[in-house]
């Protein structure tokens, strides 16, 4: 029998609410996030150590301001010179990959998890997960929401308050709800 975690990895509907393995992994992640969020800002070494242990991959130069929240941690990859301002949320049921020189303004969310339109499936607690990929040299404005399955290309700027529900090509400025390209660089 295929596990719920494997169904998730395969992009199938899965049950994260009643699977002991997934619940335990989320609890362990939340404990590390709690510890991270309650460290003094001056405790930079411990803060870095938590992120390195929590994430699947990290560059050497990064700063993630507190508070920060994620679901599993191990599905997150960050490149070099990564910066996330306060109140960043990454629901990393699937892989979330950030390139080099990515800057994230306050209050942004990256959500790989989604729920089916079918009421019965949704009421049973089923969900799906789609990866998110953010290229190199990307600036994401305040309160941006990036939805499941989105790819943002290299050298992009995403305007504040945008809801990114489809791929954004490299070298563009995109804004709005829904987010759309308004200019190429």
pLDDT of residue 1: 85
Backbone angles phi, psi at 90, to 5 degrees: -125, 105
pLDDT of residue 130: 98
Convert the pLDDT of each residue in 115-150 to its tens digit: 999 999 999 999 999 999 999 999 999 999 999 999
Annotated catalytic residue within 34, 38, 60, 115: 115
Cα atoms in the Cβ-side hemisphere of radius 13 Å centred on 163 = 3
Catalytic residue at 115? Answer: yes
Q: Are 4 and 19 in contact (CB under 8 A)?
A: yes
C-alpha to C-alpha distance for 88 and 134, rounded to whole angstroms:
15
Convert the pLDDT of each residue in 62-114 to its tens digit: 999 999 999 999 999 999 999 999 999 999 999 999 999 999 999 999 999 99
């Amino acid at each position: 029998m295929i596990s719920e975690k494997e169904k998730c990895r395969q992009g199938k509907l899965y049950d994260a609410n009643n699977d002991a393995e997934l619940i335990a992994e989320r609890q362990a992640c939340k404990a590390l996030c709690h510890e991270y969020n309650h460290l003094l800002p001056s405790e930079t070494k411990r803060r870095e150590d938590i992120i390195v242990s929590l994430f699947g991959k990290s560059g050497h130069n990064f700063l993630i301001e507190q508070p920060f929240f994620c679901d599993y941690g191990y599905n997150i990859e960050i490149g070099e010179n990564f910066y996330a301002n306060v109140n960043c949320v990454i629901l990393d049921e699937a892989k979330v990959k950030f390139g080099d020189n990515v800057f994230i303004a306050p209050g942004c969310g990256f959500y790989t998890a989604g729920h089916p339109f079918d009421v019965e499936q949704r009421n049973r607690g089923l969900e799906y997960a789609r990866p998110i990929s953010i290229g190199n040299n990307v600036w994401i404005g305040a309160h941006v929401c990036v939805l499941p399955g989105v790819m943002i290309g290299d050298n992009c700027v995403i305007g504040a308050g945008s809801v990114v529900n489809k791929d954004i090509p490299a070298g563009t400025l995109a804004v709005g709800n829904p987010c759309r390209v308004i200019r190429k660089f």
